[in-house]
Amino acid sequence: MTVKTMHTADVKDLLEKVAGFNQEGGNERVKKIVHRLMHDIFQIVEDFDVTAEEFWQAVYYVGDLGKNGEAALLAPGLGMDKYLDIRMDAEDEQAGLAGGTPRTIEGPLYVAGAPMSEGFARMDDGSDESAETMILTGQVTDENGQPVANAVVDVWHANTMGNYSYFDQSQTDYNLRRRIKTDENGRYTARSIIPAGYGCPPEGSTQALLNLLGRHGNRPAHIHFFIAKPGYKHLTTQINLAGDEYTYDDFAFATREELVVEANRIEDPAKAEQFGLNKPFTEVEFNIQLVATDKPELQSRHERKRALEGEAA
């Protein structure tokens, strides 16, 4: 039986009391948002005739999501991170700060305080001898194409199993995570290994919901970047390697055409030798253009909970 109660005085009164409208204390913005949120949830219950069984299933789903530590994994899967990027792009446009290398989502797997080096870093610990060696290199410039020296390029990526150090405790500390300061020509170079794409834990809460939506939980092989330099807009971005099954089908919606990068196999022993290698390797080039700003609040990454943030050196 379908009943309609949202229009009644009882429900309106209930929602106002739920949101603390009749109380002096608290935070006005939170009250308004909770009022809207609970109104919209009530409305969904009415419109879809949600049963008590379905409702309690959803409540315990949220509990399990928290217990599994997967809330920040479900969010990108439901397009939230992408939506926030769309809003930030629109804000930049409005403020005349559009342009440069596009942003894309950070994801939940950053760890603060990776070792810092100048110009070059080796990112892998050498333990995966069967991995393909990657030379990742590029130049950071401003909008006029002038090199930006001393920019901090903070790079992180997964191993050949799609797993990230720190979250995967079988890896050494800060494996595949480094901060590299650009040299006087704005250049950075990293020696690392070609990563594999990430997949959501198959038995986890995120994958359980994705299954109900008929969706997979996979990301293409990708490499994350934060790029920071005083006087420029902080950039959070990542590149997706071309040719991966999921390059244009990322469950976290991070792919942008400008951020799809070819990985080139280099067989020339002379070129390998330049990097101290005695076997073929794969080169990935990612040049980054920063946008100048004098607004200090745009020059550093926005706050969110991140592993070891505020703790690491």
> Least separation, in Å, of the C-beta of 128 and ligand BEZ?
18
Helix (H) or strand (E) segment spanning residue 16 = helix 9-18
Using CB under 6 A as the binding rule, whether residue 73 contacts ligand BEZ is answered as yes
107 binds Fe ion (CB under 5 A): yes
Stretch that binds Fe ion, among 27-35, 57-65, 99-107, 205-213 (CB under 5 A): 99-107
Give the range of 54-62, 103-111, 114-122, 167-175 binding Fe ion by CB under 5 A. 103-111
* Complex with Fe ion: residue 107 or 138, whichever CB lies closer: 107
Give the footprint of Fe ion on residues 193-252 (CB under 5 A).
none
72 contact partners, CB below 8 Å, separation of at least 6 = 108, 305
CB closer to Fe ion, 123 vs 148: 123
**How far is the C-alpha of 293 from the C-alpha of 158, rounded, in Å?**
32
- Amino acid in position 229: K
Tell me how crowded residue 129 is: count the other CB atoms within 10 A of its CB.
Answer: 6
- CA quadruple 227, 229, 230, 232: dihedral positive or negative? negative
Run of H or E residues at 14: helix 9-18
Q: Which of 252, 259, 288, 290 is in the footprint of ligand BEZ by CB under 6 A?
A: 252
Is 234 a binding residue for ligand BEZ by CB under 6 A? The answer is: no
3-state secondary structure of 161: coil
- Within a 10 A sphere around the Cβ of 233, how many other Cβ atoms? 21
Burial class (CB in 10 A: 0-12, 13-18, 19+), 38: middle
Nearer to ligand BEZ, 32 or 302 (CB): 302
Kindly tell me which residue out of 174, 188, 198, 281 binds ligand BEZ, with binding defined by CB under 6 A: 198
Residue 8: Cβ-neighbour burial (10 angstroms; 0-12, 13-18, 19+): exposed
Taking CB under 5 A as the binding criterion, the range among 91-99, 104-112, 118-126, 256-264 that sits at the site for Fe ion is 104-112
Q: Among 65, 82, 92, 107, indicate the residue that binds ligand BEZ (CB under 6 A).
A: 107
Residue whose beta carbon is closest to Fe ion: 107
List, in sequence order, the alpha helices (H) in 20-104: 28-47, 52-67, 71-77, 80-94
Nearest to 162 by CA among 94, 89, 252, 226: 252
Question: In the complex, what is the shortest distance from the CB of residue 303 to ligand BEZ, in angstroms, rounded to a whole number?
Answer: 18
Structure tokens at 161: 């199993």
Residue from 19, 70, 76, 165 touching ligand BEZ (CB under 6 A): that is 76
Residue 183: burial class (beta carbons within 10 Å; 0-12, 13-18, 19+): middle
- Cβ-proximal residue to ligand BEZ, closest one: 107
Q: Which does 138 bind (CB under 5 to 8 A by kind): ligand BEZ, Fe ion, none?
A: none
Q: Kindly tell me which of 19 and 136 has the beta carbon lying closer to ligand BEZ.
A: 136
Residue 212's CB is within 10 A of a number of other CB atoms, namely 8
In the set 85, 92, 101, 109, which binds ligand BEZ (CB under 6 A)?
Answer: 109
Q: Interface with ligand BEZ includes 174 (CB under 6 A)?
A: no
Question: Does the footprint of ligand BEZ cover residue 263 (CB under 6 A)?
Answer: no
What is the closest distance, in whole angstroms, from the C-beta atom of residue 157 to Fe ion in the complex? 7
Rule CB under 6 A: say whether 190 interacts with ligand BEZ.
no
Binding residues for Fe ion (CB under 5 A): 107
Binding residues for ligand BEZ (CB under 6 A): 73, 76, 107-109, 198, 219, 252
